[in-house]
């Protein structure tokens, strides 16, 4: 702790963000890097507390408390304060394979459990983490490090999201021959196609993928296990298999008018948008009337623009926010976001004490942009859609929304009640369903004979990751259900250790 009074003398400062009215005109990241001297000052706010809850990685009230990958936060905060950036990078990489991802998209449960945050604004852990890894790449300190020797053991990883990438990276470090199978045309899973460019630039994802390839990880794209590559073939060709497919089965809204055109799930909307952007055509531009060539690929048939449309986003989570931000860049006519839960309070409540994740009101980047362009936060709380109304062509033109109330039934369980007399008809030409995910798609699990738990996830104990099938393991959202990227990295790393132990009898990989 280089500055024992830093937390008293230095106020919390976050990196500046580009103006919402400016950034909705492009697809660049919206954060601006903070100068090094000010980042070092922020590192000095870390108070070397007796018990640093920031890196505990536990669950309290069902939410992450502290860093799930157990980042050595006080150590690298102090190293940044003292200007020892390369040493800080070494500490960061000890626990986190991909700090450039978590430093951008993680909600920072570490900051929610920061001891300083009990009575002062917490340390800016997330922005310091991002600055460390970005400087590491800029200075050329992050280089490919292939293993010194190979074990000869072959492992297949199904899915290239954060769990799959983390699992593969760790297994490769142990010297195993790792192949990642990905059904999409690019590697990265939700990092590539589920999160828009302003939130996570795809060059950042590709940079890490290229590094892993240079270290010896093999990537196979456009290959869906269970469809164009038989699952049982994996068991014959590989010594172990890791299922890291994510929880990609979206929650639907089975109400009147759901089958109308113009109503779609969030992830296909975001995926087609990013594909079009990566293929070199701005997503806001219309498809060509003829030709178009290979640059359009499969994205042209799936892409739907929000330009000039009244848009309703249903769901208040991160995916909903990304749909808001994407629609704003398409230049939508209007936008509202419906949230079935009540509006969070402005400050912690007695039933949400530190070090739990603070359930408080905030505006994310998408809502900030909508508010800047349309004058107010687009979210309407305790509201849902009662029915959709179509036009003569079968396309959605209106939505009837209604206020709701949560109340307990006779058994004490909370249920949803629609409040009569609060109905309202809204114009809409595009509806984006972002209500979360129910679990993994089942084709891989079924073909491999993997037992499922009561929530339809792959059944595998946390910390062991082994399924009922010999040599088959599961990690990430496919095992635990929809969760944070940082938990996926935690599980991918843990799964790699379990597989290494299975293959070699013991493992030197961190748990």
DSSP labels, 355-406: TS--------HHHHHHHHHHSS--EEESEEEEEEEE-TTSBEEEEEEEEEEE
Q: 73 with 67: CB under 8 angstroms?
A: yes
Q: Which two tokens stand for residue 161?
A: 């999201």
pLDDT tens-digit map of 143-166: 999 999 999 999 999 999 999 999
CA-based angle 324:325:330, to the nearest 5?
A: 95
pLDDT of 295 reads 33
What pTM value is reported for the model?
Answer: 0.94
Q: What is the mean pLDDT of residues 476-502?
A: 97
State the distance between the two ends of the chain, measured CA to CA, in whole angstroms.
Answer: 27
pLDDT tens-digit map of 338-370: 999 999 999 999 999 999 999 999 999 999 999
Average pLDDT over the chain reads 94
pLDDT tens-digit map of 442-460: 999 999 999 999 999 999 9
Q: Name all domains of the chain by residue range, CATH numbers in brackets.
A: 6-138 (1.10.1060.10), 154-248+438-504 (3.50.50.60), 252-435 (3.50.50.60)
- What pLDDT band is residue 284 in, cutting at 50, 70 and 90? low
Beta-strand pair 310-314/334-339: parallel
pLDDT of 294 reads 33
Q: What is the mean pLDDT of residues 199-221?
A: 98
Burial class (CB in 10 A: 0-12, 13-18, 19+), 251: middle
Q: State the CB neighbour count (10 A cutoff) for residue 62.
A: 7
Beta-strand pair 396-408/383-390: antiparallel
């Amino acid at each position: 702790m280089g500055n024992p009074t830093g937390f008293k003398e230095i106020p919390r400062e976050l990196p500046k963000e580009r103006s919402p009215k400016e950034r909705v005109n492009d697809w660049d990241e919206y954060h601006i890097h903070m100068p090094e001297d000010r980042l070092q000052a922020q590192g000095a706010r870390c108070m070397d507390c007796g018990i640093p809850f920031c890196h505990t990685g536990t669950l309290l009230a069902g939410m992450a408390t502290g860093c799930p990958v157990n980042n050595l936060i006080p150590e690298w905060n102090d190293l940044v304060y003292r200007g020892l950036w390369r040493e800080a990078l070494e500490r960061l990489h000890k626990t986190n394979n991909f700090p450039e991802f978590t430093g951008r998209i993680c909600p920072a449960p570490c900051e929610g459990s920061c001891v300083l945050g009990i009575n002062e604004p917490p340390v800016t852990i997330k922005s310091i983490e991002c600055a460390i890894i970005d400087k590491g790449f800029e200075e050329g300190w992050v280089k490919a490090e292939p293993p010194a020797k190979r074990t000869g053991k072959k492992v297949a990883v199904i899915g290239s999201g954060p769990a799959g990438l983390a699992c593969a990276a760790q297994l490769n470090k142990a010297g195993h021959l790792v192949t990642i199978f990905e059904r999409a045309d690019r590697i990265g899973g939700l990092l590539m196609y589920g999160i828009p460019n302003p939130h996570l630039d795809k060059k950042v994802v590709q940079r890490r993928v290229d590094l892993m390839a240079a270290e010896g990880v093999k990537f196979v794209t456009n290959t869906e296990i269970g469809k164009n590559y038989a699952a049982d073939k994996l068991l014959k060709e590989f010594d172990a298999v890791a299922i890291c497919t994510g929880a990609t089965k979206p929650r639907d809204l089975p109400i009147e008018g759901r089958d109308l055109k113009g109503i779609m799930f969030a992830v296909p909307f975001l995926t087609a948008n990013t594909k079009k952007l990566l293929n070199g055509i701005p997503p806001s531009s219309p498809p060509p009337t003829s030709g178009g060539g290979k640059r359009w690929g499969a994205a042209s048939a799936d892409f739907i623009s929000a330009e000039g449309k009244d848009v309703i986003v249903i769901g208040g989570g991160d995916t909903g926010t990304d749909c808001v931000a994407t629609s704003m860049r398409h230049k939508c006519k209007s936008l509202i976001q419906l949230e079935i839960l009540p509006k969070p309070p402005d400050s912690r409540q007695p039933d949400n004490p530190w070090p739990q994740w603070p359930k408080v009101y905030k505006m994310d980047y998408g809502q900030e942009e909508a508010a800047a362009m349309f004058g107010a936060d687009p979210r309407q709380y305790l509201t849902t859609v009662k029915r959709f109304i179509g036009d003569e062509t079968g396309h959605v033109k209106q939505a009837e929304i209604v206020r709701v109330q949560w109340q307990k039934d006779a058994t004490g369980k909370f249920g949803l009640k629609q409040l009569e007399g609060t109905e309202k008809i809204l114009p809409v030409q595009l509806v984006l369903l972002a209500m979360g995910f129910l679990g993994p798609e089942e084709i891989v699990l079924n073909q491999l004979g993997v037992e499922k738990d009561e929530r339809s996830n792959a059944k595998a104990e946390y910390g062991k990751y082994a399924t009922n099938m010999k040599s088959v393991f599961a990690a990430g959202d496919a095992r635990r259900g929809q969760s944070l990227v940082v938990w996926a990295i935690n599980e991918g790393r843990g799964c790699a250790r379990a597989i290494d132990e299975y293959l070699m009898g013991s493992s030197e990989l961190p748990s």
